[in-house]
Amino acid sequence: MKKSFIIFIFPTNEIYLSLIMKTDKNRLLILVLLSVAFLGYSFDLYVSPPKEKDGELINNSLAAEGKLLWQKKNCTSCHQIYGLGGHLGPDLTNIASKRSREHIEVFLKHGTNVMPDFNLSKQEIDAFQAFFIALDQSGQSDPRTFKLHLDGTVSQ
Ligand code: HEC
């Protein structure tokens, strides 16, 4: 490997690196170490169980009904979930923990002068409430609340 290339990638470690990369044996050792680290980390990621509660929405039938209504009524044209959607109204991912049930119900029942009144039945309103609770439990949409770990991964 050319010295200028190493300087380009590791400018502060230039001298140190040019010393340890001097022999083919050292280069081979570094290659082996990096390969072992890569394979070990890949294996760990592959076998460790997923941390997210996958499938929670699907197991909760009322929440699943709310999700379907969310799609049918196209609420996403004005609202976001995890930051995706229209921007006329607020992100509703964590609305269940931010606002009271009553507060949400008022919007669903009557709309506002910007948000239309969808004439939702009691069952439909309950379905939306269940959907918002399940959605809230699935994670945080605001990245400012995330914790950054030393290995570069984030958790909520
Ligand atoms: C035409 C755009 C539009 C559509 C479509 C829409 N909303 Fe809204 N919604 C808004 C706006 C804008 C607000 C913020 C209140 C306001 O300014 O009137 C809001 C507020 C809300 C709130 C209260 C949020 C808070 O933080 O107080 C809830 C809950 C809500 N909407 C649910 C829904 C649901 C469920 C649907 C689909 C059935 C929907 N919205 C469809 C525009 C919309």
pLDDT tens figures, 30-39: 999 999 999 9
pLDDT at 4: 57
Are 120 and 129 within 8 A, CB to CB? Answer: no
Q: What are phi and psi of 104, to 5 degrees?
A: -65, -40
Contact 17 CB / ligand 1 (< 6 Å): no
pLDDT at 155: 84
pLDDT at 152: 86
In the structure encoding, which two tokens stand for residue 2, read together?
């050319």
Contact 77 CB / ligand 1 (< 6 Å): yes
Distance 79 CA to ligand 1 centre (A): 7
Contact 107 CB / ligand 1 (< 6 Å): yes
pLDDT at 60: 77
Which residue, among 135, 34, 14, has the nearest Cα to 75 in the 3D structure?
A: 135
Please identify every stretch of the chain with a pLDDT value under 50, giving residue numbers as ranges. Answer: none
pLDDT at 24: 80
